[in-house]
Structure 1
Amino acid sequence: MKRIITLLFLIVPILGIAQNDVLFFSYFKGNGEDGLHLAYSEDGYKWHTLKNDESFLEPVVGESVLMRDPCIIFGPDKQFHMVWTSGWTEHGIGYASSKDLENWSEQKYIEVMKHEPKAKNCWAPEIIYDDAKKQYMIFWSTTIPGRFPETDGTGDDIYNHRMYYVTTKDFESFSATKLLYDHGFNVIDGSVLKLKSNEFVLFLKNETKRPVAEKNIRWATAKNIEGPYTKASEPITGDYWAEGPTCINTGDKYIVYFDKYMERSMGAVESTDLKTWKDISDKISFTGGVRHGTVFRVPEKLAQYLIQKYR
């Protein structure tokens, strides 16, 4: 174990990651029935599952009682906040918080689309902290039949997603739901990264399947966390279907991880300028049955404790 800790001290500064941060990855397995899984990385490329690839938290909320697409961030209140997809055909999402990634608060079911009775789903929620307004933004994708008729029939089955969001300061009261992203195509799997310039990058999946399949990852930018976001870039992923993008800034480069779900493997691309991207899927490795999730940072002391206990 001493060797692992030594490696953390040696490699983290090379990546440009703050020494009090270690990279973790939250993910689900199968259909999300058994809940939250965690992995960590010493270098951003090779990932190791924790707890023998077993769940850290089982789902208890929602009609389907699932925990898919778990997204975790470490907030300014020194707590980890997590949201997830709780079911296939629901009007809400799951939420819980933790100080140590082991002991979690009571799980909540947040009905973010309760006001839209025709809504078909609430998928792939993510969360980010808004420093300017000192509040959290939770965003996800939903299909509302007939709301965007120009792209009806372009996705899988009846699905024609757009991204929506709410804001909250305390996870007790929430703003009205608003539209976050619509640029005339079926879109899902949003993930926002704040840049040093105080601008924001929204990584997203073009979910178009017909008449020509896209199923790729792109990005858009905005000056404010709530948008408006620009039109999407050209694809940054290759000739395969990709979903669930999540990005980390390592100091001198950006790495976007994603799920090559048709190939049942994880992929990644990296860039130094957010314009030119190189596929590095052959350089990364994940142990265990990883499905897409979220990369996030864990304070060094807690990370070392979790690695020692669960590696």
Structure 2
Amino acid sequence: MKRAIKHISLLFAIALMFSCKASKSVYLFTSFHEPANEGLRFLYSNDAYHWNAIDHIFIKPEVGDAKIMRDPSIAQGPDGVYHLVWTTGWKNDKGIGYASSKDLIHWSAEEHIEVMANEPTAVNAWAPELFYDEENKYFIIVWASTVPFRFPKGQEDENNNHRLYYTTTKDFKTFSPSTLFLDPGFSVIDAEIVKRAKNDYALVMKDNTRPNRNILVAFSNNPLGPYSNYTARFTEPYSEGPSMTKAGDSWLIYYDSYRLKRYGAMRTTDFKTFTDLADSVSVPVGHKHGTIFKVTKKQLAQLLQAAEQTKAAKHE
């Protein structure tokens, strides 16, 4: 009986999506659940404020010694192919995971890209974020790594004193040499590039220092920087994993408020003044941070259908 109700609910959701004429697209939010050993999940939303979970694992982590998938980031290229990168280990791992897909359901063989292979003492490679640079027609991958004794550490342990690094690629086969992306003078992780307009970029990131551990923004006229004009920290302490999307005339910044054990959200039009929306959004319990992007309603229906077919096959 429960299976029949779920099946009817799925069909109703799909029908509702196709009957709605207001928008041809919906929002997807990449996700994972702790302890990060299951793989890629998705949330979806029609308005970017209220989210629903797709109860399905779309790709399981197979690379890296720890075999985990944290911080999944997806960006689509001009050819329509989706590219996925993720964190493969907490420490003693200089690489990131990579796979690609044309439909977000069927994925290429996973690869482990050793982005910090040129740094013998690097501790990690955390939270890679993808950004497609339309001007230069390549992808930028930004991540956080610790290279002990390279930068002033303040209160941080040498193995937890992060800076941001990057590489560029057009085909995910050849990569520019990994190099320093940003040293803001403090330990920094979880950085995501946002294009606001031509020659106008914002970098949303986590100040990972004690006692801050919260989120701020810097600005540049180039996605590779240099970034300056840092804002004040605008979220509560113990906030991380900012994820941005445009909804109407506003930008929404979602983040994991891990001490409060909930998802936070801020609305802004200029990335300088922020309105707290934590009590106005709904995010499923268990969701951990990823990236937000848009797909067509047909694509979402296909994702829901794939999830339902997998469930049905397990019960046969």
Does the residue aligned with 1:217 lie in a helix, a strand or coil? Answer: strand
2:134 to 131, 134, 137: 131
1:223 to 221, 242, 246: 221
Instruction: Provide, for residues 8-64 of structure 1, a one-character-per-residue CA deviation record: whole Å limited to 9, x for no partner.
Output: 7758x5xxxxx44310011111121111111101111111000x2x32111010111
Is the 1:183–1:231 contact (alpha carbons within 8 Å) kept by the matching residues of 2? Answer: no
Q: How does 1:42-81 map to 2 (within 5 A)?
A: 42-50=46-54, 52=55, 54-81=56-83
Structure 2: give runs of 5+ residues left out of the alignment: 1-10, 309-316
Is the 1:145–1:160 contact (alpha carbons within 8 Å) kept by the matching residues of 2? Answer: yes
| Structure 2 Cα separation of the partners of residues 199 and 128 of structure 1 | 14
Q: How many residue pairs end up in the alignment?
A: 297
- What residue in structure 2 maps to residue 29 of structure 1? 33
- What residue in structure 2 maps to residue 161 of structure 1? 162
| Structure 2 Cα separation of the partners of residues 269 and 254 of structure 1 | 8
Matched, 1:182 2:188: no
| Structure 1 Cα separation of the partners of residues 253 and 235 of structure 2 | 10
- CA shift for structure 1 position 246: 0.7
Runs of 4+ in 1 over 3 A off after TM superposition: 1-11, 307-311
| Structure 2 Cα separation of the partners of residues 79 and 243 of structure 1 | 28
Q: How does 1:105-254 map to 2 (within 5 A)?
A: 105-148=108-151, 150=152, 152-155=153-156, 158-209=159-210, 213-238=211-236, 240-254=237-251
Instruction: Provide, for residues 237-285 of structure 1, a one-character-per-residue CA deviation record: whole Å limited to 9, x for no partner.
Output: 13x3100001001230000000011222111000122221011011111
Equivalent position amino acid for 2:145 in 1: T
Matched, 1:94 2:97: yes
| Structure 2 Cα separation of the partners of residues 8 and 252 of structure 1 | 25
Residues 9/206 of structure 1: CA separation in 2 closer, same or farther (3 Å cut): farther
Is the 1:252–1:272 contact (alpha carbons within 8 Å) kept by the matching residues of 2? Answer: yes
- What residue in structure 2 maps to residue 16 of structure 1? none
- What residue in structure 1 maps to residue 276 of structure 2? 279
Matched, 1:84 2:86: yes
Is the 1:154–1:186 contact (alpha carbons within 8 Å) kept by the matching residues of 2? Answer: no
TM-score by length of 2: 0.89
Structure 1: give runs of 5+ residues left out of the alignment: 14-18
Instruction: Provide, for residues 178-222 of structure 1, a one-character-per-residue CA deviation record: whole Å limited to 9, x for no partner.
Output: 11111201100001111123311110000011xxx1111101111
